[in-house]
Amino acid sequence: MFSKILIANRGEIALRIIRTCREMGIKTVAVYSEADRHSLHVRFADEAVCIGPPPGKESYLNIPRIISAAHLTNAEAIHPGYGFLAENAEFSDICDASGFTFIGPKPHMIEAMGDKARAKETMKAAGVPVVRGSDGVVKSVDEARQIVESIGVPVIIKAVAGGGGRGMRIVHKIEEVEQQVAMAQAEAAAAFSNGDVYIEKYIEKPRHIEIQVFGDTHGTVVHYNERECSIQRRHQKLVEESPSPVVTEEIRNAMGAAAVKGSASVGYVGAGTIEFLLDKSNNFYFMEMNTRIQVEHPVTEQVIGLDLIRQQIHVAAGGKISKRPRRPEGHAIECRINAEDPEKDFRPSPGMITSFHAPGGYGVRLDSHVYAGYMIPPYYDSLVGKLITFGGDREEAIDRMQSSLDEMIVEGIKTTIPFHRALMRNDRFRNGDFDTHFLETFDWKSPQ
């Protein structure tokens, strides 16, 4: 086992990894930007190295500086968390070449899945159902039109390098395809320095269901059931739960088997997530794979009784994982508490937290890096924390979430807490009757 791990990240996930390392008796190294000097991950790690000014490019995305910090502190392994360099094949490669174990998949696995169009081809070849659409990148607007003529509207144009809900366009009229593809390409080139786009059939009113997979270096790949992530705003997840209120044992087995088959086809090692869309007739289609730990991993941990960060470290050190299936027991739900103002169209609301009270009690977990007096910097994502509750069944988990949200106090900035409080009281949400469009019609100010 490693004796020291460097965490190439910040915020709640850096803290989350430090906590597990401490339990395992592993020393930790935090890296931080000048904006994060007073962060808890810096305070709780055994050592901390400042790697540059606030902008990500000059700190958390700066590979040479992170590698230097690892050399300087004699770390043995590097955990990338999520975001920043977590799905960067080059970073995985450089870590290994510099003598540090990258706690995540090998570069070729990231490459096979990181590019969305290529991932679809990989999955299709493995026999996993994918959404109909272009075979890889669309080469011209003429080709785009031909594809849409054969699959029919509506379609969704997606940037190969897009992510986090960005780089997607829905087209409802065939005569708009050429213009929309051209615009999507230009937009993608500007935003992601890669103008490649592909096209797929737009599935009407789907649910976003994803499967947690795990592979080890001994050839075992298993899955840890699904997470329901349909509560989204502009394609960004706000609430996640496990199990899904609509996934039966039969669907779970079919989706789980497809996810394992697809991951095993690339010899996948480490934690990964296979995202599917589930349509009204319970057909499911592969959408993309995330080759890292997800923000929403705690809901899975709570219902299967396994620390997924510990398992990532165990696998990176060459350990075996158990083939025994882990069925969900009870129900867990997560609300993302963001520094955003729901009154003002969820505008970011960074600033100083003047007063803070964390909810607690039976079945309540808060993964957060903030405290009273903490300054939310404007440079990074707006996550204040993830509130997770669990109970014997979905209703109990939601009741507990409702009461925990009522108890939580964050003053000085605006947060999404009022939005979540309204959502937990909504009948359709409580009945599990929703799809990825739910929030388009949900008015959090009059939740019924």
Tell whether residue 334 is a contact of ligand ADP (CB under 6 A): no
- Given the complex with ligand ADP, which of 131 and 260 has the nearer CB atom? 131
**Residues 249 to 278 in contact with ligand ADP, rule: CB under 6 A:** 275, 277
**Residues 79 to 138 in contact with ligand ADP, rule: CB under 6 A:** 131
For the CB of residue 436, give the shortest distance to ligand ADP in the complex, in Å.
Answer: 4
For residues 402 and 447, give the distance between their C-alpha atoms in angstroms, rounded to a whole number: 13
Candidate segments 198-206, 249-257, 266-274, 391-399, binder of ligand ADP by CB under 6 A: 198-206
Among candidate residues 65, 227, 252, 292, the one labeled active-site is 292
Candidate segments 51-59, 162-170, 351-359, 386-394, binder of ligand ADP by CB under 6 A: 162-170
Tell whether residue 211 is a contact of ligand ADP (CB under 6 A): no
Applying CB under 6 A, the site for ligand ADP has a residue count of 19
Q: Show the DSSP H helices in 46-163 as ranges.
A: 63-73, 89-97, 107-114, 116-125, 141-151
For residues 21 and 19, give the distance between their C-alpha atoms in angstroms, rounded to a whole number: 5
On whether the CB atoms of residues 221 and 260 are closer than 8 A, the answer is yes
For the CB of residue 157, give the shortest distance to ligand ADP in the complex, in Å.
Answer: 10
For residues 227 and 343, give the distance between their C-alpha atoms in angstroms, rounded to a whole number: 28
Return all residues near 73 (Cβ < 8 A) that are at least 6 apart: 4, 6, 29, 47, 49
- Given the complex with ligand ADP, which of 263 and 311 has the nearer CB atom? 263
For the CB of residue 373, give the shortest distance to ligand ADP in the complex, in Å.
Answer: 34
Encoded tokens for 97: 């070449």
Candidate segments 201-209, 219-227, 259-267, 356-364, binder of ligand ADP by CB under 6 A: 201-209
Based on the residue annotation, tell me whether 145 is a catalytic residue of this protein. no
| Closest by Cα among 423, 424, 425 to 441 | 423
For the CB of residue 283, give the shortest distance to ligand ADP in the complex, in Å.
Answer: 12
User: Which string of x and - marks every residue 214-233 that binds ligand ADP (by CB under 6 A)?
Assistant: ------------------x-
For the stretch 57-74, what's the b/e string if a residue is b when 16 or more beta carbons lie within 10 angstroms of its beta carbon? Answer: eebbbbeebbbebbeebe
For the CB of residue 129, give the shortest distance to ligand ADP in the complex, in Å.
Answer: 12
For the CB of residue 197, give the shortest distance to ligand ADP in the complex, in Å.
Answer: 12
Encoded tokens for 50: 């400042």
Encoded tokens for 7: 């965490």
Encoded tokens for 59: 């700190």
Candidate segments 7-15, 20-28, 195-203, 342-350, binder of ligand ADP by CB under 6 A: 195-203
Tell whether residue 164 is a contact of ligand ADP (CB under 6 A): yes
43, 118, 235, 314: which one contacts ligand ADP (CB under 6 A)?
A: 235
On whether the CB atoms of residues 62 and 51 are closer than 8 A, the answer is yes
For tokens 């350990």, name the residue.
319
162, 272, 298, 412: which one contacts ligand ADP (CB under 6 A)?
A: 162
User: For residue 6, with 0-12 CB atoms within 10 Å meaning exposed, 13-18 middle and 19 or more buried, which class applies?
Assistant: buried
**Residues 141 to 160 in contact with ligand ADP, rule: CB under 6 A:** 156
Return all residues near 271 (Cβ < 8 A) that are at least 6 apart: 104, 212, 213, 214, 292, 293, 297, 308, 311, 312
User: Which string of x and - marks every residue 281-300 that binds ligand ADP (by CB under 6 A)?
Assistant: ------xx------------
202, 346, 374, 419: which one contacts ligand ADP (CB under 6 A)?
A: 202
On whether the CB atoms of residues 82 and 294 are closer than 8 A, the answer is yes
Candidate segments 16-24, 41-49, 197-205, 242-250, binder of ligand ADP by CB under 6 A: 197-205
For residues 337 and 358, give the distance between their C-alpha atoms in angstroms, rounded to a whole number: 12
Candidate segments 79-87, 163-171, 356-364, 389-397, binder of ligand ADP by CB under 6 A: 163-171
Distance set, CA 66 to CA 247, 320, 432, 440 (Å): 42, 29, 44, 41
Tell whether residue 206 is a contact of ligand ADP (CB under 6 A): yes
Return all residues near 115 (Cβ < 8 A) that are at least 6 apart: 160, 161
Active site residues: 292
Where do contacts with ligand ADP occur on this chain (CB under 6 A)? 131, 156, 162-166, 200, 202-203, 206, 208, 232, 235, 275, 277, 287-288, 436
